Every structure is written in C-alpha cells, then in structure tokens.
C-alpha cells in the first residue's frame, strides 16, 4: 500500500522529532518534575517544567522509548512552551482525544479540524489512534507533564492509560 504525500510528510516529521528531539535534556532549575513509565514496552519519560507566574517558561524531557514516545515528547515541548498551565492541561486533553484516549465526562468532544488546529505539528501523531497498543507511547510525556503541573496523580486515569509512576 502506497503512502500518500501527506502521510509521507507526517512520517518524516515524526521520524525527525524522534531522531533529533527538541528539548531533550534537563533544566537547570525546574519547578515541576514527573517521571512516568509504560510497563508494557519499557518506555520511560521524565518531564521537567519551569513555570513562572502560571506560564510555562521552559520544558525539557529525558528518558528512552520508541520513536512515537520520543517524537511525542519533542512535539509536546515545542507546543506548550509559553502556554499557561490551564491552556497546557487543555491541550493535553486535546491530545489524549486525538490519539484515542478516553474522554472525561466533563470534557467536550472536539472535531478533528479543531484538534489538528489546536495541536499543530503534534496532530501528525493522529494515526496512533489506529493502533491502540501505541496510545501509551504517545500519551506518556503528556501525562507526565499534566501530573507534574497538577502536583497530584489521578491513579484511576493512569491505570486506564496503562502507565505508572516510575519509582526510584
């Protein structure tokens, strides 16, 4: 089956983010940190954020995983730097919906055009929805940021997502 030009572009962008991830490393003085693990495949991502007056000034991530996991973390950092905590959490929920996660009862279901607009380049990972086993790979860094910013874990949501907090 031949890939369309658009699918080829999406694949190239995802592979570029995976091979040359943006914001990989550590921040000097993060204000928020969370490390999560996908036990089914071994992906592990730690996300660090520097938040000043409710705005994400900088993001970085470290860890290891498949190309989807690394590309997703890279795209997330690109998208969310400069956003308010509230806007970032909203975009985490949009991404969750885009890649096939369960929508919370209090969340509005958004159409694909709105999700693609809101998520910009991260919307290139929408194909993950066709492969439910890869959902965990895509959502891992986004959940790490969400829970790091909230300073609390929703164990039910983590369990539903199939990811866990990495213990030292």
User: What does pTM read for this prediction?
Assistant: 0.89
- pLDDT per residue as tens, the chain (168 positions): 566 776 777 778 888 988 899 999 999 999 999 999 998 889 999 999 999 999 999 999 999 999 999 999 999 999 999 999 999 999 999 999 999 988 888 888 999 999 999 999 999 999 899 999 899 999 999 999 999 998 666 777 788 888 888 765
Which range of residues forms the domain containing residue 93? 14-165
DSSP secondary structure of 43-102: EEEEEEEEEETTEEEEEEEEEE--HHHHHHHHHHHHHHTT-BHHHHHHHHHHHHHHTTPP
Answer yes or no: is 5 within a domain.
no
Answer yes or no: is 1 within a domain.
no
Q: Any idea what the CATH number is for the domain that residue 91 is in?
A: 3.90.1010.10
């Amino acid at each position: 089956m031949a890939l369309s030009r658009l699918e080829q572009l999406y694949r190239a962008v995802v592979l570029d983010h995976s091979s040359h991830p943006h914001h990989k490393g550590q921040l000097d003085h993060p204000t928020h940190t969370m490390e999560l693990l996908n036990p089914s495949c071994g992906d592990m991502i730690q996300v660090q954020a520097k938040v000043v007056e409710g705005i994400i000034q900088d993001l970085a991530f470290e860890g290891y995983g498949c190309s989807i996991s690394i590309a997703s973390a890279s795209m997330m950092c690109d998208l969310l730097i400069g956003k308010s905590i509230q806007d970032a959490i909203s975009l985490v929920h949009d991404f969750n919906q885009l890649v096939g996660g369960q929508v919370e009862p209090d969340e509005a279901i958004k159409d694909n055009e709105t999700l693609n607009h809101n998520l910009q380049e991260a919307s290139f990972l929408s194909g993950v929805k066709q492969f439910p086993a890869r959902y965990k790979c895509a959502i891992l860094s986004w959940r790490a940021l969400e829970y790091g910013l909230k300073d609390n874990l929703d164990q039910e949501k983590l369990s539903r997502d199939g990811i866990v907090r990495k213990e030292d």
